[in-house]
Structure 1
Amino acid sequence: MNKEDFYQNFREKMRKWLATDEGKTNKFGEYLMFAPDLFHLLCKLSLDDAVPVKEKAKLAGAIAYFVSPIDLLPEALTGPLGYVDDIAVAAFVLNGLVNNTDKSIVEKHWAGDGDVLQVIQSIIKGADDMLGSGLWAKLRKKFQ
């Protein structure tokens, strides 16, 4: 399976879940739909020569966290809700990248809906609610 197929399959899987009764009533559904887009963005940016090496290391950490079966909210146990922590980590790392480089680098690789900068800020603002302040603080510390 190529990278684009993985991305499209991930998006379709999330769309299907969001169409279920559980997905429709989940208060974090709007954030969860960004999971495939954020993962795709992390991967694209990690390959971009315009991204500084220090930032690429953070991107690699966020990608590893996304795909790891062992994280704070494992998808194998929690289903799509397990992506909430992955989304928060991705937004945190991407926000740092936007603050330390030209934001157009991030914008050019965004394949999702809406303004990527607004998506990142929205997720960061909602992270306390999604994860709880204690868990969110631990994740931020890990990825600074």
Structure 2
Amino acid sequence: MIKLMKNDHEDFYKKLRSDINSWMSKNTSLDNKWKDFILLAPDMFHLLVKLSLDSRVPISKKAKLTGAIAYFISPLDLLPELFLGPLGYLDDISIAAYVLNDVVNEIDPQIVREHWAGDSDILFNIKNILANANNMLGSGIWRKLRKKF
């Protein structure tokens, strides 16, 4: 089962990265202020999966991580990628940051850094996303999402 999850995770990760890169290359003139956040989506998804499989993460946090993973891959969410393209990942990224912040407050932050595949500092990214979530999503959507997690 873990091997299956690993393959599914890698397939989704690669597709997500490919979709976002393709969108960014087609929209080079687009001045989207959330572009840097959107580019974090594949690495945030990867981190959620890696932490959910790490034995050092408490079961209660793994449940939240799994919920965030399910939200990421679900086509039915508050900002659907099907209609919005990569802008639809802003809610997924915000939920990931919200859940990761909860995890970081319970485990050694070094464990989170250990699994982070991105180039920038994950702890800074989490704080930055959370600080901007209201503006990215609108306060009503952000409030609804936080209640789910």
State the TM-score, normalized to the length of structure 2.
0.89
Question: Could you tell me how far 1:17 is from its partner in structure 2?
Answer: 1.2
CA contact (8 A) 1:84 1:130 kept: yes
Counterpart position of 2:24: 18
Counterpart position of 2:65: 59
Counterpart position of 1:94: 100
Give the ranges of 4+ consecutive aligned residues of structure 1 lying more than 4 Å apart after TM superposition. Answer: none
Q: Give unmatched runs, 5+ long, in structure 1.
A: none
**Which of 89, 92, 99 is the matching residue for 1:83?**
89
Is 1:74 aligned to residue 64 of structure 2? Answer: no
CA contact (8 A) 1:23 1:29 kept: no
Q: Which moved more, 1:31-40 or 1:4-13?
A: 4-13
Counterpart position of 1:113: 119
Counterpart position of 1:124: 130
Identity %: 56
Q: Which moved more, 1:11-20 or 1:66-75?
A: 11-20
Q: For residues 97 and 110 of structure 2, what CA distance do their matches in structure 1 show? A: 16
Q: How many residues align?
A: 143
Q: For residues 5 and 142 of structure 1, what CA distance do their matches in structure 2 show? A: 26
Is 1:50 aligned to residue 69 of structure 2? Answer: no
State the TM-score, normalized to the length of structure 1.
0.92
Q: Give unmatched runs, 5+ long, in structure 2.
A: 1-5
Aligned-residue Cα RMSD (Å) equals: 1.7
Give the residue type in structure 1 aligned to 2:72.
Answer: F
